[in-house]
């Protein structure tokens, strides 16, 4: 077991991990529902407890979940026994799925935790069919918000032992998508006030 796997196994031992109680989760799911084609084959990269996979299945999609934590996969499988879950890190290539077999790859609030975020996009590109869709969310970082963080909450936001390793501006996220073979189709900001948004919702299409 790697140190990363051990870390997230311990994380998923908690009573109420953050993704399960995040107030923006319903908004992210609603945005995802709007952009997915009907009856899509969807892979969730970083599925945690599997609730999104179960929701997608209930909405008529064929959904598979993948997570670095064996504990998360165990929890997801026990909560949603009819769904399929795979224990694998999104940063480890190749992914254990058939290339070109998915209509969409979804990854909510994962990119910022990765030492090598490019690997997630590269894995998603391989897993997607031509023209397939990648849907991501990650915390928003823009100039005004960054200035507010510096003044009011720098040490807390950029905690030296925090689990957020990467901080994406819209431009940086767009550049990473383009560099890995995607075309940005949709970018929205979620939560809080204008210019101080909490989150970025991005949908991108795999280029041929």
Cα 149 from Cα 28, distance rounded (Å): 24
Yes or no: say if 199 and 136 are a contact pair by the CB < 8 Å rule.
Answer: no
Query: What was the pLDDT predicted at 99?
Result: 98
Query: Residue 178 corresponds to which tokens in the numbers above?
Result: 């383009």
Query: What was the pLDDT predicted at 45?
Result: 98
Yes or no: say if 189 and 200 are a contact pair by the CB < 8 Å rule.
Answer: yes
Mean pLDDT, the chain cut into blocks of 10 residues (208 residues total): 86 67 90 96 96 96 97 94 97 98 98 97 98 97 86 87 92 98 97 94 96
Yes or no: say if 97 and 76 are a contact pair by the CB < 8 Å rule.
Answer: no
Query: What was the pLDDT predicted at 55?
Result: 95
Query: What was the pLDDT predicted at 114?
Result: 96
What is the value of pTM for the model shown?
A: 0.94
Domains recognised in the chain with CATH numbers: 3-206 (3.40.50.150)
């Amino acid at each position: 077991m790697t140190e990363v796997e051990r870390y997230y196994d311990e994380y998923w031992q908690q009573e109420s991990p953050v993704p399960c109680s995040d107030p923006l989760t319903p908004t992210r799911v609603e945005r995802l529902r709007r952009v997915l084609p009907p009856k899509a084959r969807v892979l969730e990269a970083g599925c945690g407890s599997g609730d999104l996979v179960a929701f997608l299945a209930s909405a008529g999609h064929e959904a598979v979940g993948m997570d670095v934590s064996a504990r998360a996969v165990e929890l997801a499988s026990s909560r949603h026994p009819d769904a399929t879950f795979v224990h694998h890190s999104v940063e480890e290539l190749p992914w254990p799925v058939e290339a070109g077999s998915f209509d969409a790859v979804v990854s909510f609030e994962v990119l910022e935790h990765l030492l090598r975020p490019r690997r997630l996009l590269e894995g998603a590109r391989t897993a997607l069919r031509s023209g397939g869709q990648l849907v991501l969310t990650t915390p928003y970082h823009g100039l005004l918000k960054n200035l507010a963080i510096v003044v009011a909450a720098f040490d807390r936001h950029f905690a030296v032992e925090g689990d957020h390793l990467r901080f994406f501006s819209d431009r940086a996220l767009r550049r990473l998508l383009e560099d890995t073979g995607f075309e940005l189709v949709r970018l929205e900001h979620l939560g809080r006030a204008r210019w101080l948004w909490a989150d970025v919702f991005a949908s991108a299409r795999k280029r041929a």
